[in-house]
Copies of this chain bind each other. A is one copy, B any other.
Amino acid sequence: MYQFINNGTVTSAKGFKAAGIFSGIKKKKKDLALIYSDSSCTAAGTFTLNKVKAAPLLVSQDVIQSKNEVKAVIVNSGNANACTGEAGYNDALKMQSYCAEKLGINANEVLISSTGVIGQLMPMDKLLGGIDEIVPQLSAEGGFDAAEAIMTTDKKMKSFAVKVELSAGAVTIGAICKGSGMIMPNMATMLAFVTTDAKIETDFLQKLLSKAVKNSFNKISVDGDTSTNDMVVILANGKSGFEVYENSEDENLFYEALEALSIEMAKSIVSDGEGATKLVTINVSGAHSEADADLVGKAVANSSLVKTAIYGEDANWGRIMSAAGNSGASIEPEKMSIFFNNSPVVLPNYNIVLDEAEAKEILSKNEFQIKINLNGGKYSSTWWTCDFSEEYVKINANYRT
């Protein structure tokens, strides 16, 4: 059993402090965040699959892969330190070591992350000055400041926490994240930082995180692109005094809460997608395999034509069917059925039962479901997408200037 905590954030779990400040990398807004735990944390992370990887991502990936215990995460917005070559990589190492020095810990206990414009070297004087300034500001109330400092084109701050009743007692999982577009040149990398006071062994933590990310962040689409800086990390400091063991009943309890939290974050990113006005859940069922269910979900979630139709509140089911047909999944189109919420639109054998008035009512909502039953097998998959508006084009046409 888990429940979401009102005003939950990355400092909701015991023993975590945070801060968020303006360091001058951006023009006006907060641009530097720090998350810190006095006691060492096991850590796990998932990173972008884009072959173009930003320098800070490479540095953090090293920390995670070497299975170091971690105490801090330092994150800046306003500059992605991506496509910056060797100089950028050295700047990323400096960001890590300087932060460690100020915290009095080892460099390999610090994860780093950057989001913002690419192809520009980090203004290191501002960043390092910011680190000087942020360390003394760490506090157990700093989660929201940190959440604000990692925003780029996000309109809403994204901060969540859940409380989980394990067999022995309660643990908390807190998080902040950011999204907006799916790609770094937007200053819109997807980042999520999760903390928990449960104790969890490193490899098991990685397994839990990877599974939760697969079922949440990896099933959303704003514009179909993947950033060079995307990263999700989790730190577990054990401060609750309760450990989650693999293959225990607690595993399921903890995982369910972590997945719910991750889905909530993922949905918050989609519904705050650039120019988005609607959050749409796509349920694919009846697939011959999990891979097929995902192919169909992804194709529908990514289709510009489906997304513009959603924006127009147009019951254009043909675009959904055509996207499924193009997905590469093994489907038999004549067996497909499509529903908007529980209202049937097309049943097998192209039996069109669309009720335009009912469809219009559903499509005019801010949130609704598109259910696609392939009626072929027993596998299913859930994806989340947003609509595609003129606003998206405006935001992205003149981003750099």
Contacts and interface: CB of A to CB of B under 8 A. Distances in A.
Nearest to A315: B400
A195 interface: no
A223 B322 contact: no
Contacts of A324: 51-52
Interface stretch (A208-216, A248-256, A346-354): A346-354
A318 B82 CA distance: 9
Given A85-B349, A225-B322, A316 B400 contact: yes
Nearest to A85: B350
B181 A305 contact: yes
A304 B305 contact: no
A106 interface: no
A397 B275 CA distance: 14
A226 interface: yes
Interface stretch (A37-45, A62-70, A258-266, A326-334): A326-334
B333 A52 contact: yes
Interface stretch (A28-36, A157-165, A385-393): A385-393
Interface string A304-331: 1100110110111111011111100001
Interface stretch (A10-18, A136-144, A172-180, A183-191): A183-191
B399 A314 contact: yes
A342 interface: no
Nearest to A303: B225
Interface string A370-401: 00000000000000000011101110111111
Contact of A399 (B309, B325, B351): B309
Interface in A83-122: 83-86, 88, 117-119
Contacts of A51: 324-326, 331, 333
A398 B350 contact: no
Contact of A185 (B322, B393, B394): B322
A52 B322 contact: yes
A285 interface: no
A350 B389 CA distance: 33
Contacts of A50: 322, 325-326
B317 A119 contact: yes
A228 interface: yes
Nearest to A222: B304
Contact of A183 (B52, B53, B305, B349): B305
A24 interface: no
Interface of A: 49-53, 82-86, 88, 117-119, 181, 183-186, 223-228, 303-305, 308-309, 311-312, 314-319, 321-326, 331, 333-334, 346, 349-352, 388-390, 392-394, 396-401
